[in-house]
């Protein structure tokens, strides 16, 4: 571990950057943040906070020039600037070409195919007309190649009558998987090549908003499925030759297949519980991996549930957290608010982690907390 004060620059100053800073404080690791929103969650906590676009070459390039290592907390950034910085000797993790790959779901799917990574069958579509031509592929998930995020740019086309809403831009159709479970495995790798994997977690999505609503760790899957999922996640980060932390979301099908759904080369919603539940949080692990420090133990200290605190439907404006007093009175309940003043429906305003040695009790308590806390205005 270098002792000279290395600056870590982060593109994006949202909740992921905020929780990264909370970890970095323990290491005296200075962090600079670039974010377009002057009121981003990181604004008061970074050693330097720059307001500016993540998409403009000059803004990203100038920001990065002051840093030694540059990372992201959102994929939608200017990769040309990152490549230029890399050429000039900055360490950029995840590497710019990986960010570019992730920015396009079409390339991502092609990558799985090229490297023998199991994923749902798919067909690339240039526009709405091409989706329509592939009507025999339905029921399918129609994804936009670019700009999809947190539920945007993803929709299910069940039958021909749905075809009219197909995305009229480069995208893809993916066979609708009749899955048994959705799971995620987080892996991390540093420049020395050390590689660690977290135990699989199980995600339950919001029925309409395509956002994680509940997460349970450990996933209730067989040791065989656990092993398969871990192997696939390791395979993905190795094939990408990536440095940093990578969340690999997977489907477990009813006949025991494990298929990669999507990946995120940064701390991810599916790892928030690690702050309290694991020996090393995903945020500290991200720091360790991009800074080329030794990686931390990934073991689970205690079964955990994670609940996203999403802005309640029908409320918009200054956020008010209902039920917080009751929630924090409970043993093993951890609130994380993200410092966002304004709420709107489904906005990620915070999360709650619940710890309980008894897995059945844990599920009950997670539902209780979920119904207790509401983000209103």
Binding residues for ATP: 105, 143, 174-177, 182, 261-262
Report the DSSP beta bridge partners of residue 155: 142
Nearer to a copy of itself, 45 or 172 (CB): 45
Q: Which of 256, 299, 317, 345 binds a copy of itself (CB under 8 A)?
A: 299
Assess contact for 189 and 289: CB atoms under 8 A. Answer: yes
Residues 6+ apart with CB under 8 A from 129: none
Find the binder of a copy of itself among 159, 164, 314, 331 (CB under 8 A). 331
Measured distance CA(55)–CA(285) in Å, rounded: 26
Residues 6+ apart with CB under 8 A from 360: none
Residues 6+ apart with CB under 8 A from 12: 33, 34, 35, 54, 72, 73, 74, 77
Q: Which residue has the tokens 């620059």?
A: 9
Distance CA 206, CA 36 (A): 28
Quick check: 216 binds a copy of itself (CB under 8 A)? no
Q: How many residues make contact with a copy of itself (CB under 8 A)?
A: 36
Tokens at residue 330, please? 């409970």
Which residue of 64, 94, 145, 296 would you call a contact of a copy of itself, by CB under 8 A? 296
- The verdict on 62 binding a copy of itself (CB under 8 A) reads no
Q: Which region, judged by CB under 8 A, interacts with a copy of itself, from 86-94, 140-148, 183-191, 324-332?
A: 324-332
d(Cα 123, Cα 105) in Å, to the nearest integer? 12
Residue 337 binds to a copy of itself (criterion: CB under 8 A): yes
Q: Is 294 in the site for a copy of itself (CB under 8 A)?
A: yes
Site for a copy of itself in 64-93 (CB under 8 A): none
325 touches a copy of itself by CB under 8 A:
yes
Using CB under 8 A as the binding rule, whether residue 301 contacts a copy of itself is answered as yes
- Residue numbers of the site for a copy of itself (CB under 8 A)? 1, 3, 18, 22, 25-28, 44-47, 279, 288, 293-294, 296-297, 299, 301-302, 320-321, 324-325, 328-329, 331-332, 334-339, 355
């Amino acid at each position: 571990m270098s002792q000279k004060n290395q600056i870590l620059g982060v593109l994006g100053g949202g909740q992921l950057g905020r929780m990264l800073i909370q970890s970095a404080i323990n290491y005296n690791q200075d962090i600079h943040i670039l974010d377009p929103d002057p009121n981003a969650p990181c604004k008061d906590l970074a050693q330097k906070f720059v307001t500016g676009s993540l998409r403009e070459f000059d803004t990203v390039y100038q920001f990065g020039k002051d840093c030694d290592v540059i990372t992201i907390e959102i994929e939608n950034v200017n990769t040309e600037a990152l490549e230029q910085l890399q050429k000039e000797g900055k360490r950029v993790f995840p590497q710019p070409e990986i960010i570019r790959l992730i920015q396009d779901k079409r390339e991502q799917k092609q990558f799985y195919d090229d490297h023998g990574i199991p994923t749902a069958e798919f067909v690339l579509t240039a526009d709405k007309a091409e989706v329509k031509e592939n009507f025999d592929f339905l029921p399918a998930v129609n994804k936009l190649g670019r700009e999809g995020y947190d539920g945007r740019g993803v929709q299910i086309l069940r039958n021909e009558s749905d075809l009219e809403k197909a995305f009229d831009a480069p995208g893809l159709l993916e066979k609708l998987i009749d899955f048994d479970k959705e799971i995620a495995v987080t892996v991390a790798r540093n420049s020395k090549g050390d590689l660690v994997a977290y135990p699989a977690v199980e995600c339950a999505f919001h029925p309409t908003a395509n956002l994680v609503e509940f997460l349970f760790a450990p996933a209730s899957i067989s040791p065989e499925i656990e092993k398969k999922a871990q192997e696939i996640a390791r395979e993905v980060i190795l094939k990408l030759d990536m440095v940093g932390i990578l969340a690999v979301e997977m489907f477990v099908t009813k006949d025991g297949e494990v298929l990669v759904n999507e990946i995120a080369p940064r701390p991810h919603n599916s790892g928030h519980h690690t702050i309290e539940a694991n020996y090393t949080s995903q945020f500290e692990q991200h720091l360790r991996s991009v800074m080329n420090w030794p990686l931390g133990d990934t073991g689970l200290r205690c079964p955990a549930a994670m609940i996203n605190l999403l802005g309640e439907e029908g409320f918009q404006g200054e956020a008010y957290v209902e039920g917080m007093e009751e929630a924090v009175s409970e043993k093993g309940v951890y609130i994380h608010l993200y410092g966002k003043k304004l709420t709107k429906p489904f906005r990620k305003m915070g999360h709650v982690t619940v710890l309980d040695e008894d897995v059945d009790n844990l599920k009950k308590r997670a539902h209780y907390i979920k119904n207790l806390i509401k983000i209103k205005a």
